[in-house]
Amino acid sequence: MFYQKNRNVILPILVFPVLILVWELYIKIFQVPDYLLPRPMDLLGSMIRLFQTGEITKHIMITLQEIFVGTGVGIVIGLVLGYIMAKIKVIERLVMPFVVIVQTAPKISLAPLFILWMGLGIESKAALVILVVSFPIMINEVTAIRSIDDNAYNLMKVLKANRWQVFTQLEVPYSLEMLLSGIKLALTQAMTGAVIGEMIGAKAGLGYLLTLGNETYDIRLILNAVILLSMIGLILYILSGLIERKALYWKELDRSVIG
């Protein structure tokens, strides 16, 4: 029973020591030089030293700030645009082609423009995050609003509900599940957008450390930045999943009743 409830956590914990062992054996068997792939304990030691100096904390906080600011603004923009386009089809026909053009453009090609316009600070990276976050939120909002049954709207008319009541009592609950799914996807894309912006041009951040490690041939710095980015991505994904389960608790209740 305990394993079934916690297997998503237990299995990765069991696999992790195996990966470390394979890593160590690979270096010993093939005599991989340290400057190409350090031993796991050496990499751990370099990670600890980065935290002891306190320098790495600043880079982590800057990347998180870019992610959270960009994601927050991107969600608001995506929701507003998505709702307007879902309700007014003329605006969708006018706006959607431009949105698709911007979204299909490689983000790495847009990053230099934002840096040129906004500088090397967090503004340019947050703008890139807003760009990548707002699109999935907007699309999910349009799909969610348009998937609401007409009978539900007719019922609200019979009950003489005003626009605000229709929005809060019908449209928000109906679109919540799809919105949360969009946010979960947007968070992963937000980190990618922030790192791309930092790698193109930045004064700090984990993406900046990736570029610095590449320029100085410091494999430890590169691997540490990759590990930290992976951990941040995993934590954000887990947190978004927890929020989704808490917000959609009624689905779990339905499953328990049906089961």
Interval 31-74: pLDDT, tens:
888 888 899 888 889 899 988 888 889 999 999 999 999 999 99
Predicted local confidence at residue 9, as pLDDT? 60
CA distance 125 to 92: 27
- pLDDT averaged over every residue in the chain: 84
Res. 255: pLDDT tops 60 = no
User: Where is mean pLDDT largest: 5-9, 97-101, 146-150, 204-208?
Assistant: 204-208
pTM, 2 dp? 0.84
Which tokens in the block code for residue 113?
A: 């423009």
pLDDT tens readout for residues 94-145:
888 888 887 777 777 888 888 888 888 888 999 999 988 888 888 888 888 8
Least trusted range by pLDDT, from 12-16, 27-31, 217-221, 246-250: 246-250
- Superfamily for 43-258? MetI-like (1.10.3720.10)
**What contacts 85, CB < 8 A, 6 or more positions away?**
91, 92, 95, 96, 138, 142
Q: Bigger pLDDT: 258 or 90? A: 90
pLDDT of 257: 45
Q: Mean pLDDT over residues 238-246, rounded?
A: 80
Domain ranges, ordered by start, for the chain: 1-32, 43-258
